[in-house]
Amino acid sequence: MLSLPPLAAEPIFHIGSFPITNAYINSTLGVVVFAVFAYFLNRSAKKYYATGAPKGLVNFFEYLIEFVLGYIDGVTHDRKKTMKFLPIVGGMFFFILFSNWVGLLPGTGSFGLYRGGEFLPILRPANTDLNLTLAMAVFAVVASHILGIFTIGFFKYANKFIKFGDIYQAIKSLSPIKILVAFIEFFVGLIEVFSEVAKMVSLSLRLFGNIFAGEVLLTVLASLIAGYGAFLIPIPFMLLELIVGIVQATVFSMLTLVYLSIATSEIHGHVEENHQEIEVSEVEAI
């Protein structure tokens, strides 16, 4: 009997009146794994940094951080900014990657319990829960606004969306063309407010859609052919899912990085703004 994963995560048990879903268990598992990793990393770091060159886990993590720093540097072109964005972008990247890949391990989707004749997997890839992807998207966009306000100031930042300043300057210049352009830009600014909501929706749905589609694909492929074929056919697609996992983690974190970068940079002109928008659309195209 083919059992496709439902769109919504399934509650497994309750803590008080709060239902704990299988996707929530996976995301909590991610937090626990990160905490354990942090413990061992700090222990190794203390040991190796005291004696000299890092080895093993610390060395491997340093390599990963160097890799991520290189990517962030490529967008920010400023190491100070890179270090400021690293906790958000790096944390996001590693968490999404971990959640995507852990969903491919045996046990996720296969261990579960039967309730009312229906099979409920105890573990489900965390990113197949839209609540998590939306939470991350909201966090990314809100963080970009907060950092933007703290970096360039509230009024300058607000002028990116509500361009009263431009209208005032245009009226002061008494040039009809400038006034017309200022009014058009004012309405473009208002559209920008809606685009912020679109950012959250697109970020969350893209990640959710890709990972959920992967789950469905693997389930369908495993169910289509009986016998050993059920084990063999999904293998190439699991490898493909490994790539999808890393690509989606990169896309989500890179878009967040671009949002952060745009929000924290002063507007010098339309050329630069357009260039940044092109960068965003290139990443989104992936």
Partner 1 sequence: MIDLNQISQLIIPVAHAQEAAASSGGIAVLGLNVKFFIAQLINFGILLLIFWKWILPGVTKAMQARTERIEKSLTDADRIEKEKKEFDIWRQAEMGKARTEASSIVTAAQTEAGNAKQAILDQTKQDQQKLVDQAKTQIESEKNKALQDAKGELADLVINATEKILRKKLDSKVDQEYIKESLGLVK
- Of 132, 123, 129, 131, residue with least CA distance to 103: 123
User: Quick one: which of 12, 72, 75, 92 contacts partner 1 (CB under 8 A)?
Assistant: 92
Q: Is 7 in the site for partner 1 (CB under 8 A)?
A: yes
61 by Cβ neighbours in 10 Å (0-12 / 13-18 / 19+) ranks as: middle
As given in the structure block, the two tokens for residue 230 are 């059920």
Based on its alpha-carbon atoms, the radius of gyration of the chain, rounded to whole angstroms, reads 23
Q: Which of residues 210-229 bind partner 1 (CB under 8 A)?
A: 220, 223-226
By the 8 A CB rule, do 253 and 64 touch?
no
Q: Which residues pair with 14 in a beta bridge?
A: 19
User: Quick one: which of 22, 129, 251, 261 contacts partner 1 (CB under 8 A)?
Assistant: 129
Give the DSSP letter of residue 206. Answer: H
Binding track over 147-186 against partner 1, x by CB under 8 A: ----------------------------------------
User: Quick one: which of 16, 78, 81, 88 contacts partner 1 (CB under 8 A)?
Assistant: 88
The CA-to-CA distance between both ends of the chain, in Å, stands at: 35
| Stretch in the footprint of partner 1 (CB under 8 A) among 21-29, 106-114, 150-158, 165-173 | 21-29
Q: Is 198 in the site for partner 1 (CB under 8 A)?
A: no
Q: Is 131 in the site for partner 1 (CB under 8 A)?
A: yes
Closest contact distance (angstroms) between CB of 38 and partner 1 is 4
Nearer to partner 1, 182 or 214 (CB): 214
Separation in Å, CA 230 to CA 151, 238, 240, 250, 269:
54, 13, 17, 31, 57
Q: Is 30 in the site for partner 1 (CB under 8 A)?
A: yes
